[in-house]
Structure 1
């Protein structure tokens, strides 16, 4: 767990970094599905959660950077509410849990902000994470929050690893259940049930699909067929809201075909070499480009591409099979802090986003630091729509064998391979977090057969 002193220290450091004025951190309200009293499961704004640990709706923090005083703004429960909710903590009790000495009714927030502005004081706000609205956001506050949340403490790493233990069990369950003739939804339901039975929640909607070339495919409407490869991208959230994010690729037949095994080993090699490159000061863009080069080199060896691997990556030709990025930050958000702006979180000063295919979707380019937790997730995706489009345009015909691509897609119904792990950057290198989850061809096939 994370103790009260930690939240107090985080707020003190935030005030020090921002320097002056007031910091306003609003929490989330309940979000109705279709009418007021039928709501989606509540999830607190991650930044407010980081600085308070309070996972309740309709609260806000007001931090005075000049005096160091923090005020919790919340409504005391109405006596009538007890009929529907049972007893809930008072405003004073919530403030005490977070180590906050001052509290006031949430209804007074607007007056407090207007009073500060009338006195000529700056009120610092963040972009609105749920909408991406950045009008009026404070650069000083944004940079301070990103800098603090990016570096994970030992307690935060422990939370991520706690989530990963449940995620390991989810993936083992899927490896055993994903078989020819089984509905994708049945396996998804089993994984979600395992998580729910432990009183936890998913960190993001499950991606479990034999159409893995569709990168964020949240449909589970296929029945598995012989020769299918199933991309299982799923992760549990810890009790304090920290995410895990793991992908494994499952042969529905229980064993990979020889070509599938060769392709899988290419992806695994790219992932292992990318992880080995991670150490403080290394730009993640460099890690991505190396992973791409390994993938292309493997595709050349298997006859799908030709020419020089480094040149193919430089020209963006690798996007025919790997159009996305190699990873992203992980923490209280599965794509940590991206709601505050991917440019600030994954790029920072001096890093610009490429417009080339295979590079433009890279979420993380900046140099990594000790305490960063990142996903490393290279993949190969055989997308018939993308291949047809590129071939019709005559793109990179000197580097891509479109005939080989088409033959493979006709045989295996398109699909994809992705291998993803969560990695902590240490003082001298990197460490894969959590318990080991079957990763090699041999380990995956053994797990499919029922081995641990």
Structure 2
């Protein structure tokens, strides 16, 4: 938790950016795994954390825009709770830690919202991803779960995005702390990438490192020698010398700020010539992205320039042909990189995407593309100082996608399918760094994890 002044200032800025009404924040409840008392590890809602800071279940927060007042609704523990959890601070004491003096039992929330609605006041609420909160929202405002997305407050969403997208110094410090743990996770994964090791052993150890640092993983770890599958959370494969192991994982601090990095590792410590050639293209692409990131440019333009680096490299290897600029304009490169270059990062590893990807990554000036591959770019809008983003290009050989493109005779002027089919069992390579957009360019969040061919090989062999 930050100082109470941080939360007071955030709520004040929110009220100033909205016209009127009630801004409703529903904290997350506990989520049962297989019975009510056997629960998943708790994770508070990030918007509630950002404005109210209380990292416990059973809370709701209200910003009364008209009356310049904030409320916390929650229940004090009873003797049964104390028996199981020990003494707990009162709701009043917890609220005081974040600069709020108006508290009430959780059951009073319904009455508070009902009276506001009867007075004709606007109730602003956000998209809801927890089933329990969908049911609660229906009780509070009468909107059925299926109709929530049609009744969310765009004014509320846009006000939050405008605040959260610019990271404060205290947030950057937390992101740096997450990056320190992430560095250890990835270096450990490299050292474990040896013949005879199971993916699950690597996945277990990187999660343990995050837990020992005081937080959990920022998302389920992707640890796979089948790197052509973009998100693969199965960890049952046995590593063999000569395999490529793709590790995409990050740490979350005890304040819930995230890291998110990817490295692709030669099992046993030596890239084959074929692997090295593809790896060097991806390395050139990620370095190009870092070079181009600065305020005033759109991330879509950075994405497309990075794709041209990939296309140029593949043309030199004979996998593509023709002119790189034309190939990218046509979308031929998407056979090899069918995803976007990156996304926002902060309190969430995909920051604020619970509010809606298009609200976070796009705006009135830049709308999402419709072209296959480019349409998956999560962040396309103009970059500003204070943005924290990921830079994660890749090259993948996905047999099903190769078959689809080839059977449909797509991009015959740009793709050498005979050569591509020689790579059907190659897998995939992705590299990912986290970047802070500065006044004049960008800087890495944290120390750079080994990334050159030589440094990766040496780390594995160590």
**Shared fold, TM over 0.5:** yes
Q: Counterparts of 1:225-244 in structure 2 under 5 Å?
A: 225-244=240-259
Whether 1:193 and 2:205 are equivalent positions in the alignment is no
Tell me what 2:342 maps to. Answer: 327
Residues in 2 aligned to 1:394 and 1:267: alpha-carbon distance in whole angstroms: 26
Residue 428 of structure 1 is aligned with which of 435, 440, 452?
Answer: 440
Residues in 1 aligned to 2:306 and 2:35: alpha-carbon distance in whole angstroms: 47
Whether 1:145 and 2:196 are equivalent positions in the alignment is no
Tell me what 1:114 maps to. Answer: 114
Tell me what 1:388 maps to. Answer: 403
TM-score normalised per structure 1: 0.97
Q: Counterparts of 1:162-173 in structure 2 under 5 Å?
A: 162-173=177-188
Residues in 1 aligned to 2:373 and 2:212: alpha-carbon distance in whole angstroms: 40
Residue 134 of structure 1 is aligned with which of 131, 149, 156?
Answer: 149
Unaligned runs of 5+ in 2: 132-144
Give 1:263 deviation, angstroms: 1.1
Residues in 2 aligned to 1:200 and 1:126: alpha-carbon distance in whole angstroms: 26
Whether 1:310 and 2:298 are equivalent positions in the alignment is no
Residue 294 of structure 2 is aligned with which of 257, 271, 279?
Answer: 279
Residue 391 of structure 2 is aligned with which of 367, 370, 376?
Answer: 376
Residues in 2 aligned to 1:361 and 1:199: alpha-carbon distance in whole angstroms: 33
Give 1:41 deviation, angstroms: 0.7
Residues in 2 aligned to 1:3 and 1:428: alpha-carbon distance in whole angstroms: 30
Whether 1:363 and 2:378 are equivalent positions in the alignment is yes
Tell me what 1:99 maps to. Answer: 99
Residues in 2 aligned to 1:391 and 1:130: alpha-carbon distance in whole angstroms: 41
Residues in 1 aligned to 2:10 and 2:118: alpha-carbon distance in whole angstroms: 28
SS of residue in 2 equivalent to 1:403: helix
Whether 1:288 and 2:300 are equivalent positions in the alignment is no
Tell me what 1:81 maps to. Answer: 81
- Show CA shifts across 1:39-70 (max 9, x none): 11110000000001111001011111122110
Residue 218 of structure 2 is aligned with which of 193, 200, 203?
Answer: 203
Tell me what 1:51 maps to. Answer: 51
Tell me what 1:437 maps to. Answer: 449
Residues in 2 aligned to 1:386 and 1:152: alpha-carbon distance in whole angstroms: 38
Whether 1:15 and 2:10 are equivalent positions in the alignment is no
SS of residue in 1 equivalent to 2:290: helix
Q: How many residue pairs end up in the alignment?
A: 447
Give 1:130 deviation, angstroms: 4.3
Instruction: Check conservation: 1:185, 1:220, Cα contact below 8 A.
Output: yes
Q: 1:215 to 1:441 in 2, by over 3 A?
A: same
Residues in 2 aligned to 1:426 and 1:66: alpha-carbon distance in whole angstroms: 36
Whether 1:213 and 2:228 are equivalent positions in the alignment is yes
SS of residue in 1 equivalent to 2:346: coil
Q: Which is worse superposed, 219-228 or 417-426?
A: 219-228
Unaligned runs of 5+ in 1: none
Residues in 2 aligned to 1:84 and 1:112: alpha-carbon distance in whole angstroms: 31
- Show CA shifts across 1:135-191 (max 9, x none): 321111111000000000111011011011011001110100111221111111111
TM-score normalised per structure 2: 0.95
Q: 1:269 to 1:245 in 2, by over 3 A?
A: same
Give 1:352 deviation, angstroms: 2.1
Residues in 2 aligned to 1:226 and 1:172: alpha-carbon distance in whole angstroms: 18
Whether 1:351 and 2:351 are equivalent positions in the alignment is no
SS of residue in 1 equivalent to 2:263: strand
Residues in 2 aligned to 1:227 and 1:305: alpha-carbon distance in whole angstroms: 25
Residues in 1 aligned to 2:237 and 2:420: alpha-carbon distance in whole angstroms: 23
Instruction: Check conservation: 2:219, 2:349, Cα contact below 8 A.
Output: yes
Instruction: Check conservation: 2:262, 2:431, Cα contact below 8 A.
Output: yes
Instruction: Check conservation: 2:224, 2:245, Cα contact below 8 A.
Output: yes
SS of residue in 2 equivalent to 1:237: coil
Instruction: Check conservation: 1:53, 1:98, Cα contact below 8 A.
Output: yes
Residues in 1 aligned to 2:419 and 2:194: alpha-carbon distance in whole angstroms: 27
Instruction: Check conservation: 2:214, 2:253, Cα contact below 8 A.
Output: no
- Show CA shifts across 1:386-437 (max 9, x none): 111211111112211112122122xxx3311111010000011100110121
